[in-house]
Amino acid sequence: MKQVGLVGLGNAGRPLGERLLSKGFSLKVFDINPEAAEPLVKLGAEKTNSAEDATCDLTITILPSSVEVRAAVFGEKGVLGGIQPGFTLVDLSGTGPDCARELQEKVGKRGGQFLGGTLHAAGAPSVTIPKGLLSIVIGGEKNLIENHIDVLKALAQKVICVNEPWSPKSMKIAVILFAIADSIISTEICTWLQAQKIDPKTFLGLLQTTGSRASATRVEDFLARNKSYGGTLSNIEKDIRQALEVASEIQLSLPFTESANRIVEKSGAEESKRITPGAAFANYYQKQTKIDLSQAVKERERTFPEPEEPQVIYL
């Protein structure tokens, strides 16, 4: 089996490493926090002292933002220093399209190739990623994707392939914008109902009974906000900021997104950045309206299907 380099061993990187090792791949790993490598070392990974030392013919970066990615790739003892002929960098980090374009350009100048991708895990990464219950959207030349399809299929239930290495980053941000809009409007609607002494749980029952599935899901997510399996407020802040940065670069006005961003900023001003967006928005609306939403909650346990044979889909 081929050897893979993995840079970034956080909430997503570590379980991805576990998947690769369980599928028989040889793995070299690096994280700025040396202790993060230990669980993978116990499973057979080789711990390295820098991103450069972890670089293999196929190297995956999975880091929180463009700041960490640029440091790991372009910085001292970074991935670029370890590039050899035939090298491919796969970036699955939470970056924007501008960073993906920069990676493609600079890796290409050094004789390497680049694939840009995003993870789409509908649930807790600690559960879905180890089981492979996620999708990877990967962008780049078809023959390059096919050269590494064995690694991608080892990681995900679905490998969704598109032409441009930067486009998965834009589409992932678009998914997040939908989620932000849903979360904010659901909070506002439930606050409006609560102010009229209508229990949002009763409203959920109405939606479920009338077959309004999309709306019911949004309200159910709000009611289960204290036990959400989604991203944190800090991740949302990063993604919405990237969306507005791209809009500014292409001179596009996004008035709704700008309004949503102001709510996100105000919601996060007095909250832990690790709080779920739904909980932060509820706290914000309670403070603004003086309406108590503490009873508008409903426990929900998530169930996860068993993994199936991985699919490769070209869009």
Percent of the chain, pLDDT > 90?
Answer: 79
Can you give the pLDDT at residue 271? 64
* Nearest C-alpha neighbor of 236 from the set 293, 302, 171, 183: 183
Do 103 and 181 lie in one domain? The reply is: no
**CATH code, domain carrying 79:** 3.40.50.720
Structural domain contains residue 202: yes
CB 147, CB 114: distance < 8 Å:
no
Identify whether the C-beta of residue 48 lies closer than 8 Å to the C-beta of residue 54.
yes
User: Do residues 129 and 153 both lie within one domain?
Assistant: yes
Provide mean pLDDT across the span 249-263: 95
Question: What mean pLDDT comes out for the span 250-264?
Answer: 95
How far apart CA 293 and CA 234 sit, in angstroms, is 23
Between 228 and 174, name the one with better pLDDT.
174
Q: Of the candidates 165, 198, 224, which is a domain's last residue?
A: 165
Which of 110, 145, 165 lies at the terminal end of a domain, its last residue?
165
Say if 315 falls within a structural domain.
no
- Provide the pLDDT confidence category of residue 220 given band limits of 50, 70 and 90: very high
How high is the pLDDT of residue 233? 83
Q: Is residue 227 part of a domain?
A: yes
Residue 105 forms part of a structural domain: yes
Q: How far apart are CA 173 and CA 254, in angstroms?
A: 14
Per-chain mean pLDDT for the chain:
92
CATH number, residue 265: 1.10.1040.10
What are 106's two structure tokens?
């600079």
- 13 in a structural domain: yes
- Residues 145, 230 share a domain: no
Label residue 230 by pLDDT band (50, 70, 90): low
Residues 110 and 259 in one domain: no
DSSP assignment, residue 272? -
Q: How far apart are CA 107 and CA 161, in angstroms?
A: 20
Whether 182 and 39 share a structural domain: no
User: How many domains does the chain contain in total?
Assistant: 2
* 160 and 175 fall within a common domain: no
The pLDDT value recorded for residue 236 is: 86
Instruction: Tell which of 114, 139, 165 closes a domain.
Output: 165
Cα 304–306–307 angle (5° rounding)?
A: 115
- Residue scoring higher pLDDT (235 or 216): 216
Query: In terms of domains, do 153 and 177 share one?
Result: no
Q: Whole-angstrom Cα distance, residue 10 to residue 292?
A: 36
Question: What is the structure's pLDDT at 208?
Answer: 95
Q: Look at residue 300 and tell me whether its pLDDT is greater than 80.
A: no
Which residue blocks in 156-273 are alpha helix, DSSP H?
A: 167-195, 200-210, 213-223, 233-249, 255-268
129 and 244 in a common domain:
no
Q: Per residue in 12-65, pLDDT tens?
A: 999 999 999 999 999 999 999 999 999 999 999 999 999 999 999 999 999 999
Could you tell me if residue 102 is inside a domain?
A: yes
* Rounded average pLDDT over 288-313: 84
186 and 58 part of one domain: no
Pair 64, 106 in one domain:
yes
Decide if 300 is inside a domain: no
Q: What is the mean pLDDT of residues 203-207?
A: 96
16 shares its domain with 91? yes
Least-confidence region, from 16-25, 194-203, 214-223, 296-305: 296-305
Q: Is the pLDDT confidence value at 112 over 80?
A: yes
Round to whole Å and give the CA distance between 268 and 235: 11
Based on the fold, state whether residues 120 and 186 are members of the same structural domain.
no
Q: pLDDT confidence of 303, banded at 50, 70, 90? A: low
The residue range of the domain holding 88 is 3-165
Does any domain span residue 106?
Answer: yes
The model's pTM is 0.91
